[in-house]
Structure 1
């Protein structure tokens, strides 16, 4: 077994600790302490736990234990003050808090490429979703902009570390490459990462331009590039906005790349299958696509019944079947999603994604206030969770406060303007406008939703309602026809079957929407 965290790799078969390609010398007891802490990183371990595991229950003084723990921290570049990896929990014990990834290996596997007889796909020894964010280059003539450029690098490193299943090289190591014309393949080998992100920042007059590119560190090929051109206002707000957009775009791209790698494997493990499921979810607009995504997560769960990624993947698949009006029995789908997400939270109580998904389920099952609380907890754990913002906007619609919806959706779009969920977010504003009887504005938002994703059936049905209420019946019928082409089983009965809220304003708005759809020719049942 190998455990990867930042630039370190702990090999339990060889009983070796590596920092990049370099062997870190440590004593057997220090190795055992580190191994035990990483292996049990999901909980706080007590002093008695450590003594029992490492010293076989022999009497050990507090001073001796402290000395060995300090040696562990020194070996992995940590300290008692910083506690990046090992956190002391006063009067309770210790916990390994770094983001670690497990890779099953055999002792005869070489470092580098691994090839199995029955699977001729090259496998890298570097962990999945492993990345280093190299210091961005300041292309401005003003050296005072260095602090801003460094801030982008540091914040992006922090935000990428929140991606489930990732590990990101720490900023202290990444900054040792500052100002060097680094060979990116060599950087990948030295740090044992699959991906390198590099970028530049240039300020000219009142605008700021950020260029980024994602490189496959093994082949040197460019995987993705983007440019962000923004007017300069408040630099700290601008930094937050740029980092959030970068992190959200990169998350989707990295998942897609890892999914393509997994497709080539003849022996996919639970993580491979979760990447394929997440990539499928990011593109899913139909019931069949969601069923396909769910099947990947179900297979992953058979391999690893405690896979949080698989549990959340099933929850999202079921949630989207119900929330996108693709299932007749929406209550059953929401119940299944809630069961899976609660199971995930029992394993990973600090998962921002789990809190966000649970918030969504609550919002759609007449518990909007509880749903908002869950989404706010998700934002405390991950301030850049665009879906949490959009879910709060939806909750305000169900609570009969549609005028507040637009602001929350705009926050989501600011954080992730090219998100695969943007079409759904835009349609939420559309139906909120219908609740406000602002039908022309609703039609504008719903057209934007369809432009963002023409394969999402509900956008067409909602637009048909707005156009029907405006009296544009020919256009309304055309929109309804487009929706039925995508989802032939859609009926008004499906809309009315689930009581999402008891709020009178919401119920009156829903009645208007159904009237508009009926005028457009959407069948009742």
Structure 2
């Protein structure tokens, strides 16, 4: 018999044991729950029947690190799954306000007496081991080393570390150790595995800055704390003109590169996992999204997101990513009824923004839909809102460029694409940005510049059927039918059902672009000559 100063809470067939800080099932066995998810559950259990505001939970549970609201949403999803059938009704979401464990209606939530019978403590003989699962995207950014000791450079080095800590916390689902904790390791020799165990993080990011003459070099590497293996490295060589002015650009490039790398690493990890959770499925879906835009990749990505949402209906990131599949299918004209995909995406994203009003990618996707459905001015405004929430969201600059293309403000398009490339020069979505500029050049009769940009799009990612069809059409217009037919064949290998008819009925979003209206019949004839089916 155990004495408890706090009552334990029963939720369906689960026991929230507040004294021992354990979640138990009906047989008294421990139900695994990540440390942050347990901390949220404990806070809600201590205040059964009362609203606990989001900011209160974030301040209480993540007081020593910087995270976005997405981390809280993920924790809530983990709790609902761990609570079983009763969790969906017992744990309520109050949109824009917070969460509550309820004790009314037909929900079974009640307190146990202060004296309860329970299974042995986890450190006693024969007790089941509690899970110490490390959060997926948990990372500490160690203070970068200043090689040479120059004081001006020291400010820059610390600034990069500080800003990178903040910017990585904007990555979906990221758990980033706070600057104050990380700086306790400044100047010390560290062991990645020990830091991982001490801080309960999966990744360690460290780097160094060295100045030589009028240039400086920044080296950075990402280490897996579980294995001690280096999983990614990057190097910047820059003129040492004004280090502080370059800080934002370097941090943005690092944050965007790491975001893409995290998806690859976590997707590979998930493939090896025998028990995949919702985030494992989410990362595998994102990995297929990042491969390119084809019907096959879209179908595989959607399947992973649907499975993730079946496990965790509150997984905001999986829901946003699923909406992105519809945006891609409509934008790449992979179906006869592209507007249906845009409608589905807009409905989904609008609902998501009621739950997570400050989600940058959700705002960006809403903007993309509006741009693609002849509401470019509103779409551009949504993309700017996304950038206000996440300054590193290079893809939003790309969509603003597309919006200017749709409005016929073609002289502004390339500048927005260059800004996207400044923030993320090797971005996985850059192939789309190159295509946007290529078609803009075509509308102003700069055909050979258009060809250069469209070829660049295909070089960046050949798994985008629409880029091949665009290249085929422009090549035919300039008279190169041999390469045009080859490009059309490459596009049809990726999207065998594509037709000129489908393109015609779904290219309505450029109705304000007078240059496109003047040249579209030439383009359609070019695709026909290249061998794209009329349909």
Separation of aligned partners in 1, 2:227 and 2:459: 36
Partner of 2:180: 172
Partner of 2:10: none
Partner of 1:502: 511
The one of 524, 531, 535 aligned to 1:514? 524
Separation of aligned partners in 2, 1:43 and 1:504: 45
CA drift of 1:304 comes to 2.1
Separation of aligned partners in 2, 1:97 and 1:312: 14
Partner of 1:346: 354
The one of 11, 17, 20 aligned to 1:14? 20
The answer on 1:327 being equivalent to 2:340 is no
TM-score normalised by length of structure 1: 0.80
Question: CA separation of 1:369/1:501 partners in 2, compared to 1, >3 Å: closer, same or farther?
Answer: same
| 1:386–1:412 CA contact under 8 A, matched in 2 | yes
CA drift of 1:389 comes to 0.2
Partner of 1:297: 305
The one of 124, 141, 145 aligned to 1:137? 145
Separation of aligned partners in 1, 2:396 and 2:60: 36
The one of 385, 390, 403 aligned to 1:395? 403
- RMSD, matched Cα: 3.3
CA drift of 1:467 comes to 1.5
CA drift of 1:384 comes to 0.8
Separation of aligned partners in 1, 2:128 and 2:339: 45
CA drift of 1:13 comes to 7.2
Question: CA separation of 1:383/1:446 partners in 2, compared to 1, >3 Å: closer, same or farther?
Answer: same
SS in 1 for 2:210: strand
Partner of 1:92: none
CA drift of 1:287 comes to 0.6
SS in 1 for 2:510: coil
Separation of aligned partners in 2, 1:186 and 1:197: 14
1:266-314 CA deviation, whole Å, 9 max, x = no partner?
3322222212211221113321111111011111212222221121111
Stretches of structure 1 lacking an aligned partner (at least 5 in a row)? 1-9, 17-22, 51-68, 79-83, 86-95
CA drift of 1:226 comes to 1.3
The answer on 1:230 being equivalent to 2:238 is yes
| 1:99–1:161 CA contact under 8 A, matched in 2 | no
| 2:278–2:309 CA contact under 8 A, matched in 1 | yes
1:24-70 CA deviation, whole Å, 9 max, x = no partner?
xxxx9xx7589769x9676467xxxx9xxxxxxxxxxxxxxxxxx9x
Moved more, 100-109 or 228-237: 100-109
What pairs with 1:100-179 in structure 2 (closer than 5 Å)?
Answer: 100=72, 102=75, 125-179=133-187
The answer on 1:286 being equivalent to 2:294 is yes
Question: CA separation of 1:167/1:332 partners in 2, compared to 1, >3 Å: closer, same or farther?
Answer: same
Separation of aligned partners in 1, 2:487 and 2:19: 61
1:447-500 CA deviation, whole Å, 9 max, x = no partner?
111111122222221112222222222222222222222222221112111211
Stretches of structure 2 lacking an aligned partner (at least 5 in a row)? 1-15, 23-34, 84-118
Question: CA separation of 1:131/1:41 partners in 2, compared to 1, >3 Å: closer, same or farther?
Answer: farther
SS in 2 for 1:301: helix
| 1:464–1:516 CA contact under 8 A, matched in 2 | yes
Partner of 1:271: 279
Partner of 1:437: 445
CA drift of 1:132 comes to 0.2
Partner of 2:205: 197
The one of 454, 459, 468 aligned to 1:451? 459
TM-score normalised by length of structure 2: 0.78
What pairs with 1:45-60 in structure 2 (closer than 5 Å)?
Answer: none
SS in 2 for 1:500: helix
1:147-175 CA deviation, whole Å, 9 max, x = no partner?
00111111111111001111100111100
Separation of aligned partners in 1, 2:167 and 2:496: 41
Moved more, 198-207 or 185-194: 198-207
CA drift of 1:75 comes to 11
| 2:64–2:181 CA contact under 8 A, matched in 1 | no
State the aligned residue count: 457
| 1:133–1:157 CA contact under 8 A, matched in 2 | yes
Partner of 1:93: none
CA drift of 1:192 comes to 0.8
SS in 1 for 2:399: helix
Question: CA separation of 1:42/1:210 partners in 2, compared to 1, >3 Å: closer, same or farther?
Answer: farther
Separation of aligned partners in 2, 1:182 and 1:169: 16
| 2:204–2:224 CA contact under 8 A, matched in 1 | yes
Separation of aligned partners in 1, 2:287 and 2:371: 25
| 2:291–2:463 CA contact under 8 A, matched in 1 | no
RCO higher in structure (CA 8 A, sep ≥6): 2
Separation of aligned partners in 2, 1:165 and 1:316: 17
Moved more, 343-352 or 515-524: 515-524
Moved more, 278-287 or 179-188: 278-287
